[in-house]
Amino acid sequence: MNDTCYRKIQTLRALPKAPARKSVSDVFKDLKHQGFEIDRRSLQRDLKALARLFPIENDGNKDIPGWCWQKDAEKFELPEMSPSVALSFRMVKLFLERFMPPSTMTELGSYFDYADRILNSLPNNQLSDWTQKVRYVSRTQPLHSPEIDPQILSSVYEALLSDRQIKAHYKPRGGDPRDYVINPLGLVVVDQVMYLVCTLWEYEDVKQFALHRFRGVELSENPVNELDGFDLDDYVRQGHFEYVVEQEEWITLQLKISAGLYPHLVESRLSTDQVIEQREGDYFLKASVQNTNQLRWWLMGLGAEVEVLQPNALRSELIKNSQKLSSIYQSFK
C-alpha cells in the first residue's frame, strides 16, 4: 500500500459521525501527528474526492467548514491499522511477550509484522521510535527470572484459556516432587516469578504454584471445578502475595524517618491514611499497613534512615535482627 492510499484511509478514520464534525485544520493536525507530509489544500482535495466515494459530507459552513460521516452512514470497517494501534502491538511484543500464551503470540505474528511495517514506513512519525523512549526500571535488586519449560508454560496457558484441569508433577520448595490434579484459576506475576493460582482435586482452598517448579504438565479433558465467587483481583488485593506474618494481619506502623526519606514518602505513601508530622526538626510517620515480610525487608533496607517506634513487637524484632547483624560483622574484625 502506497503512502497516498494509506493517508486517505487515515483521513477517513479521523472523521467523526454526525452530528459531530471536525474541521480541515483538525484533520490536518491528526495527519501531521501521524507523520504524513501534506498541505491543507491537498487535504481539502482529498476530502472532496473521498466524498464522491464514501458517505462523508461537508456541513457547508463557509468560515470553518466541518467534515463528518453522514448520520445514516452504515458502519464502515477500515481494515488498516492506525499508527497508534501499531505502536500498541509493538509495545505488547516488547514488554508482554513473556506473559502472553505462546499460541496467541503465534496467531498475532502477522499483526506484529504488519505493525512494524506501518511504523517503519513513517519515518517522520513520532510513534515510530517510541519504544526506544520507554523503559521499565525496578529499584529492587535485579534478579534473573527462573527458567520455565516452554511446553509447560504453553500447557498452563491453554488450560487457563479453555478452563480445563491439568495433571501436574510439581516439586515444592524443599520437598519431593508430587503429582497433583489442578484447577487453574489465574496467573499472577510477582517480580520475576510467575504463579498459578488454583485449587486441587475437589478441594476449595486456593493455592499458589510457581511455574518454574513444575516438572511436567498434562492437559486434561476435564473441565475445572469452578470456585463460586472467586475473583483474582480480590484475591491479590487481600494480600495473598504479601506473605503476612503472625496472626495480626494489619498493624498501625509508627516511624521516625530521616529528612532525606521524608520527600520520598510524601510522594509515595505507605497507605491512604498515612500522616507525617514534624516535631522539633524530626519527622514522624503513622500509617495502617499489612504485617508482612515485605514490610520487614523494606524497613531493613532503609537502615538508619528509619526507626520503628510502634508496634513494640515489630520494634523488638528489628532490634534483635540488627544485633545479630552487628555480631556477624564484628566477628570479621
* CATH (domain of 283): 3.30.70
Same domain for 38 and 98: no
Do both 123 and 181 map to the same domain? no
Task: Tell me, yes or no, whether 280 lies in a domain.
Answer: yes
The per-residue pLDDT for 89 is 79
Q: For residue 288, is it within any domain?
A: yes
Task: Write the pLDDT tens digit of every residue in 84-122.
Answer: 777 777 777 777 776 766 766 776 777 788 777 777 776
Q: How far apart are CA 314 and CA 309, in angstroms?
A: 9
Average pLDDT, the chain: 85
Sheet holding 214-223, edge to edge: 207-210, 193-200, 178-190, 164-170, 214-223
pTM beyond 0.95: the answer is no
% of the chain at pLDDT higher than 70: 90
Q: What is the mean pLDDT of residues 305-321?
A: 95
Distance, CA of 311 to CA of 247 (rounded, Å): 14
CATH of the domain at 204: 2.30.30
Kindly report, residue by residue over 182-207, the tens digit of the pLDDT.
Answer: 999 999 988 778 899 999 999 999 99
Say if residue 154 is in the same domain as residue 212.
yes
Question: Looking at the 3D structure of the chain, how many domains does it have?
Answer: 4
Integer-rounded Cα radius of gyration of the chain: 29
Distance CA 125, CA 122 (A): 5
Query: Residue 37 sits in a domain of what CATH number?
Result: 1.10.10.10
Q: What range defines the domain where residue 31 resides?
A: 3-69
Mean pLDDT of 236-253: 81
